Amino acid sequence: MPQKTVLNEVHRQLGAKMVDFGGWDMPLHYGSQIEEHHAVRRDCGMFDVSHMCALDVAGPDARPFLRRLIANNVDKLKQPGKALYSAMLNESGGVIDDLIVYFINEAHYRVVVNAGTTEKDLAWIAARLAEWKFKAVCIPRRDLAMIAVQGPNARTRFWQALPETRAASEALKAFHSVTVGDYFIASTGYTGEDGYEITLPASKAATFWQALLDAGVRPSGLAARDTLRLEAGMNLYGQDMDESISPLDAGLAWTVDLLSERDFVGKVALLAHPPQHQFLGLLLLDRGVMRAHQKVLVKVDGTVGEGEITSGTFSPTLQQSIALARLPLGVALGDQVKVEIREKALSARVVKPCFVRNGKALI
């Protein structure tokens, strides 16, 4: 049986189409994926992301432990509330999971991991704590729920629902967080739009969800979340990267600190194996829809090579098919390539892997 978030019955009462997503019973949409997508781009939408897991890493060695555990450098976190995106790697340099670390204080960090990898992540972290003998603990906060409020009007609608949080959250810059009473408010998201991700006691989730509904926020499901994140050029674990893929081949080199003397799991492997591919965007020029695992044929210096689409969809904002793809080195922005779709070779243009941000087309 799939696991259920605390809002499961609320989704059903709203008429959501429910699906099994990574072992969780989650809303795919509430009637119209396209309308939910446009609501987030043009106004405001909300997502139940309580299937993801918040972990509290605490103790006097919390910072040195995270410094060694993840590929990005937590020493960048100097201001309480600041957040850092990173990958947690295995010894071969493959991505165990991508995650966000929030700096609460020197002895307390919050780490948010993906739903489908939670048990694997917890086992990996527990093994590293035991191996390295750091004075720290990792506590999964299963008593918490998470709701994302996203869109150009997200802040205003959020303050309508929780006016007592406005003074503390109004000045939040991107990738920062603040705690107001029982609410952990982070200016992060997975849509390319402004907004907050709010972590709160599970017992208060249904009341907060209703307050957002009353403020005019539209419930949105997994389908819209996927088209939004793909338009924004954001990776999805299990599609765009996994334990067999280096972050250097998954467009995540910017999340890896190879310059400092700091050691971390996977660093030796990354230094020994430079990037083998480029991670770029594709815009389909012919009619059709690009999907994951389709083959991409490219020409580099007169030689035909192959790449692969990792995520593809029809963009509701651009009204065109878009994709993220791993392509051979030497492919340049603006190049035309061929994508094999239903035994046809359709034309696509190579673009930067970010198509839409803050409601605006970037290509």
CA distance 144 to 41: 27
| pLDDT tens digits for range 275-292 | 999 999 999 999 999 999
Closest alpha carbon to 328 in 355, 351, 305: 305
CA distance 122 to 56: 11
| pLDDT tens digits for range 301-315 | 778 799 999 999 999
What SS3 class is residue 234?
Answer: coil
Give φ, ψ of 112 to 5 degrees.
-110, 120
Domain borders along the chain are 1-234, 276-361
What is the C-alpha end-to-end distance of the chain, expressed in Å? 43
Tokens of 10: 């609320």
Half-sphere exposure of 79 (CA within 13 A, CB side): 10
Reported pTM: 0.96
Q: In this structure, are residues 29 and 40 in contact, taking their beta carbons and an 8 Å threshold?
A: no
Q: In this structure, are residues 166 and 173 in contact, taking their beta carbons and an 8 Å threshold?
A: no
- Which overall architecture, per CATH, does domain 1-234 show? 2-Layer Sandwich (3.30)
Q: In this structure, are residues 187 and 172 in contact, taking their beta carbons and an 8 Å threshold?
A: yes
CA distance 283 to 270: 30
Q: In this structure, are residues 134 and 59 in contact, taking their beta carbons and an 8 Å threshold?
A: yes
| pLDDT tens digits for range 233-243 | 999 999 999 99
Tokens of 268: 């030796």
Give the DSSP H or E segment for 161.
Answer: helix 154-161
The overall average pLDDT reported for the chain is 97
What SS3 class is residue 76?
Answer: helix
Average pLDDT over residues 134-140: 98
CATH number for the segment(s) 276-361: 2.40.30.110
CA distance 172 to 147: 17
| pLDDT tens digits for range 168-224 | 999 999 999 999 999 999 999 999 999 999 999 999 999 999 999 999 999 999 999
Half-sphere exposure of 136 (CA within 13 A, CB side): 29
Closest alpha carbon to 94 in 265, 209, 232: 265
Average pLDDT over residues 117-122: 98
In this predicted structure, the answer to whether residue 358 has a pLDDT above a threshold of 90 is yes
- Same fold for the pair 1-234 and 276-361: no
pLDDT at 254: 97
